[in-house]
Each structure stands twice: as C-alpha cells, then as structure tokens.
Structure 1
Amino acid sequence: MKTSNLEAAQLDYWVARAEGLSNPRVEDGLCWVAYIDCDNKQGKSVEIDAAFSPSTDWAQAGPIIEREDYCLPRVNTNAGALHHGGYAASTPAGFCFYGNTPLIAAMRAYVADKFGEEVPDEI
C-alpha cells in the first residue's frame, strides 16, 4: 500500500510500528498497542491495551513531529495542490507528504522515513 494513502487506524498502526511500540494491531477501527502499567494495585508490572492515534491526537504526534524536525506548512490550494490535502509535511530526509490535517501529513512522512513510500498491506 502506498504510504501516501494511509489514513486512520492503518496510519496509526504504521506509526506504532515505526515507534517500536509493543503489539500494535487494528481492532474495532482503532489502533491498539500494549503498554506496561507499573503503577497498579497489584504492585507488579501488568500489560494493558491502549488506543494509539497520532494521526488525530497532538499529544501523541507532537513529540514525533518535534523530534523528527518536520515542517508542516499549509498548502496553497490555488497552486493546484487541493487534491493532495490542505497540509504538507517535509522531512530532513527529503520526503514530502500531504494530508487533510497537519497530523495526517506528518505521520505519513514519518512512516515513509522509516519504511519507504510503500508498506505491506498486512492489516
């Protein structure tokens, strides 16, 4: 599948893979990952599932965007880029991806940085 076509839970899944998060999977239209909960009543580490959605959640995507030093300009739709979406994400490695939101554009660029312009359709 082309990285430029990833969206929603599929995009979140590939970001989770790029981040090396534990057990990423798509269920019920969401991406889920496993976290270790060290602060629980049993007093021992327990693995819990949590939704992971950096394509819509600034708290999850922001650290990636900052760490990777992405530029997220709004695309001038008068320049004929309307079909690409309203935002572009350019990376230091030279990738440029588009999306209807800055987070979608940035997460597509991040996946491309880590895996290339195509990823297996394994979901």
Structure 2
Amino acid sequence: MKRRGKGALPALHVRVDLVPGVSFGPGKADLLQGIAETGSIAAAGRRLGMSYKRAWSLVETLNRMFRAPLVSATKGGLSGGGAVLTPEGEAVLARYRAIQARVAAAAAEELAALHAAAADRR
C-alpha cells in the first residue's frame, strides 16, 4: 500500500463520487486495505501517516457511506481490540481496486505520452 502522491509516475488517482458530498478514493481504499492487512485501525492509520483520530473518523465516515458498515471494530482491553472488514467492506474495496486497474489500463498509453512530454523538475 502506498501513500497517495508517492509511487511510480505517472500516477492517476480515481475518486468515485457516490452521491453529492460523498466520495470514495485512494485514501479511504488504502485505509480499508490497511485494516484488512493489520487487523487494526490504529496500525492502518500509522501506515498512512495519519493520526488515530483521523483514521477512526474516516472509518466512521465509511460505515455511514454505505447501506451496511464496511469495518467492524472491537474495543480494546485485556484481549486487545481489533478491526476487520465486513463482507461489504471487502466487496467495496475489491470493486474500487478493479476500477483503478481498469482505468490505469485504459489510460496507460496516454499517461506514458504525458510523462514523456513532461519536464523533469527534480
């Protein structure tokens, strides 16, 4: 999982506007993927360089964005807390990643041409 804005260039970022004011993009997808991989909202947030509060806020937003929650979290304590993607969360993440892959494949030639025409400003 890579933080937005880093990685191979040229880069294309896909954001899906679901309804006015409600969008799903690379940041939310990366947070879901991090939760799936680490079993922790805090750990997923740390991977992305975001605060615990910000990660939790995004999870709450994600859980309200869809008809069913995308993340199921358990409170900490002696046995520790944790978080997992619900089946809906897994499906949303998979669909978004499929959209990303299709968009990247469809735009590869044009992105390469733009990259070749861009000035190296390092």
Pick the TM interval, shorter chain.
under 0.3
- Greater helix content: 2
The structure whose RCO (Cα within 8 Å, separation 6+) is larger is 1
Larger radius of gyration: 2
Task: Kindly indicate which of the two structures has a greater share of residues assigned to strand.
Answer: 1
